[in-house]
Amino acid sequence: MPVQAFAHILAVPVVLFVALMSQNTPPSKCATDSSEIVASYVASEINLDAERPARPWQSARPIVFCSDWQGKNPDELRETKVRALWSAHTLYLRFECRYGELYLFEDSDPNGRRDHLWDRDVAEAFLQPDPGRERYYREFEVAPNGMWIDLDIFPGGLADLKSGMKRSVALDDKTKRWAAELAIPMRALTQNFDSKSVWRANFYRVEGTAEPRAYLAWRPTHTAKPNFHVPAAFGTLRFASDGASK
């Protein structure tokens, strides 16, 4: 959560994990030009397994980024892909990350929650179900070792969200890639979910423990110093049709 003011899983990746992690990415700066991510619909809930991703993830077109918060200094060795799925009750997110070195906390609450998780390596999702309330949004973070935090962001402060988020992580230290899947209850995001609504969102990565750290962003915030809390810079999150209306 960079802002200036404010059980390690090791395994040989299976075929589907490799297929998702190695899908062709746009050439050159390993980034998608689109400012929109589309969540594909799933009729029933899926099991989280970052190492062995469920097949519906294949239908979710990823957004890709590897540049810093100013949209500069692309680094393919820190490429990040994000996919989204949705059901009537859950928003699913999958991060697929390349990394240089790992910097992780060794301690957390018994359930894996860790304050100030952003001071080490993390992937982050900022979600804004109601774009009309620009300074209100939710923040979700997950580390390569499975530690996590979820926050309610509002003008002048933040609070623990206690969303009931579930997660799964997988780490392959030989290829220097890690993946995380999150399942976020819709009720923690909005009281009245409408799949026709368009949300705002942004996705980030942080890597390192001492400056200069890597601060990567899907939609650049263009601030002078690293700052992810710029709602005006968010992209959009749209929900693909559930097929109920023809």
Please give the radius of gyration of the chain, using alpha carbons only, rounded to the nearest integer.
Answer: 17
pTM recorded for the entire structure: 0.88
Give residue 4's pLDDT: 43
- Percentage above 70 pLDDT, the chain: 87
Give residue 29's pLDDT: 58
Place of tokens 């894996």: 112
Give residue 133's pLDDT: 95
Domain boundaries, the chain: 15-25+36-104+119-239
Using one digit for the tens of pLDDT, what is the confidence trace for 42-52?
999 999 999 99
Q: How confident is the model at residue 229 (pLDDT cuts 50, 70, 90)?
A: very high
Residue 81 tokens, joined: 């892909």
Instruction: Annotate 111-146 with DSSP letters as a single string.
Output: TSB-TTGGGSSEEEEEEES-TTSTT-EEEEEE-TTS
Q: Is the predicted pLDDT of residue 38 greater than 70, yes or no?
A: yes
Topology of 15-25+36-104+119-239 in CATH?
A: Immunoglobulin-like (2.60.40)
